Amino acid sequence: MTPLKRARIAKKWTLADVSARLSQFGDTIDSGNLSRVERGVQRASTTLAENLSRVFDNEITEIHILYPERFDSSTEAVA
């Protein structure tokens, strides 16, 4: 699961909720494209990544959004 999806689920937000919050920062993305970004199928622009970070109060960084494969929970070592 990508950091973006983990952050959204932790806040109990829908994709539509995130899209609506993004519009407050002047960025628009539909739920379908946001889902693809969240799953790592589509890359976010740097502007979108910055605004998503702002939507989540910097709980995730642009790097988490731009390079989700670096933070994939399914490949993290278990202690």
The pLDDT, as a whole number, for residue 72 is: 73
User: Quick check: 31 and 16 in contact, CB under 8 A?
Assistant: yes
For the chain, percent of residues with pLDDT exceeding 90: 85
User: Quick check: 73 and 5 in contact, CB under 8 A?
Assistant: no
Mean pLDDT confidence for 46-51: 97
The tens digit of pLDDT for each residue in 9-29 reads: 999 999 999 999 999 999 999
Phi, psi torsion values for 65, nearest 5 degrees: -80, -40
pLDDT at residue 79 above 60? no
Query: Is 1.10.287 the CATH number for 3-70?
Result: no
How far is Cα 22 from Cα 48, in angstroms, rounded to an integer? 9
